[in-house]
Amino acid sequence: MTTQQTTRSGWNIVGHEHAIDLLRRTLAAQQVRHAYLFTGPEHIGKTLLAHRFAQTLLCTGGSDLHVAPLDACNACLSCRKVLHGNHPDLHIISRAPDKQFILIEQVRALQSDSARKTLEGRRNVFIIQGAHEMNLQAANCLLKTLEEPEPDVVLLLTAPDPGLLLPTILSRVQQVPMHLLTSLQIKTALEQQWEVEPEEANLIAALAAGRMGWAVQAVEDDELLVERKAQLEALAKLPMVSKVQRFEIAQRISSDSAKARAILELWLFWWRDMVLAANKCLDLTVNVDMRNILKQQASRVGTVEAERMVRR
């Protein structure tokens, strides 16, 4: 176990041993596929793992310059370029903030880049972040690349769920499912690697609900926890305010789609906790610092109503 941990250490990733081992096996067998799909809930670390895999594929610190090592060395020029986000053979594609989808023009640019010879590395690596956000045109266009890939091209797709992609795309990618971490894994990592005090690490690990990416965000952005508390307190008061006020709140939230999504996610966890609290499983709730309010409200709301809210 300990040796395995050390051999994976070049990946610099908390948990996800199963996924990393899968990738290391394809590297060891020198059978790197043309396309991989990393799946799992938001903030679980899909993009990070795709980045680390890309770095390993491009690393020139191994014993044979023509073969990717099993673990990136984190020291060669290629590794440093990937880490600094300026490796010319690593291309990132994602939905533009002001657009609803990843567009066909972006996939066409990928195709012309992939037809080009690599500039420095042995491969041209493309990360398509949130591949489920491609519109149909873009997805069909990508399919052509997947059907007839250039020999040195590797595509790394991320999506919350494989079911969100076209079956024709799914059949041409190697799936790498990623799973939630335990709160103990997150707590330990926060204390040891981010030097978070035990009490705060405990709270963040509980709130992260298995998603290391969220935990790191909460450590790096003090506002996140303050904002969360304010949002939940506002949510707890919602049943007491008038219909007009509720519409005003809804309007305010929906004006910023990224924020609205974060709030809805928060609410989902809140109502899930409410179901747990109503079923007398308070110790399983995620919002550990607000268990008193949860308990009070759950006794008023009841199991049936709480479950209905989660589904809605």
Q: Which residues would be at the binding site for Zn ion (CB under 5 A)?
A: 59, 61, 72-73, 76, 79
Nearest residue (CB) to Zn ion, 26 versus 74: 74
Nearest residue (CB) to Zn ion, 65 versus 240: 65
Min dist CB 55 to Zn ion, Å, is 7
Q: How far is CA 148 from CA 62, 281, 305, in A?
A: 29, 53, 52
Min dist CB 76 to Zn ion, Å, is 3
Nearest residue (CB) to Zn ion, 61 versus 213: 61
Nearest residue (CB) to Zn ion, 8 versus 259: 8
Handedness of CA 127, 175, 272, 307 (dihedral sign): positive
Min dist CB 72 to Zn ion, Å, is 5
Cα gap 173→199, rounded to integer Å: 42
Residue 250: CB atoms within 10 A of its CB come to 11
Query: Strand 35-39 vs strand 174-177: parallel, antiparallel, or unpaired?
Result: parallel
Min dist CB 79 to Zn ion, Å, is 3
Min dist CB 32 to Zn ion, Å, is 16
Beta partners for residue 126, in sequence order: 91, 155
Handedness of CA 39, 43, 47, 52 (dihedral sign): negative
Phi-psi region of 188 (alpha: psi -120 to 50; beta: other; left: phi over 0): alpha
Q: Which two tokens stand for residue 160?
A: 């919350």
Min dist CB 159 to Zn ion, Å, is 28
Min dist CB 194 to Zn ion, Å, is 24
Cα gap 216→294, rounded to integer Å: 26
Nearest residue (CB) to Zn ion, 78 versus 287: 78
Q: How far is CA 69 from CA 23, 53, 120, in A?
A: 11, 11, 16
Name the burial class of residue 122, with classes exposed (0-12), middle (13-18) and buried (19+) by CB atoms within 10 angstroms of its CB.
middle
Judge whether 141 and 167 are in contact, CB under 8 Å. Answer: no
Nearest residue (CB) to Zn ion, 54 versus 141: 54
Which among 52, 60, 34, 32 has a CA at the least distance from the CA of 120?
60
Nearest residue (CB) to Zn ion, 45 versus 69: 69
Nearest residue (CB) to Zn ion, 73 versus 249: 73
Phi-psi region of 37 (alpha: psi -120 to 50; beta: other; left: phi over 0): beta
Min dist CB 265 to Zn ion, Å, is 36
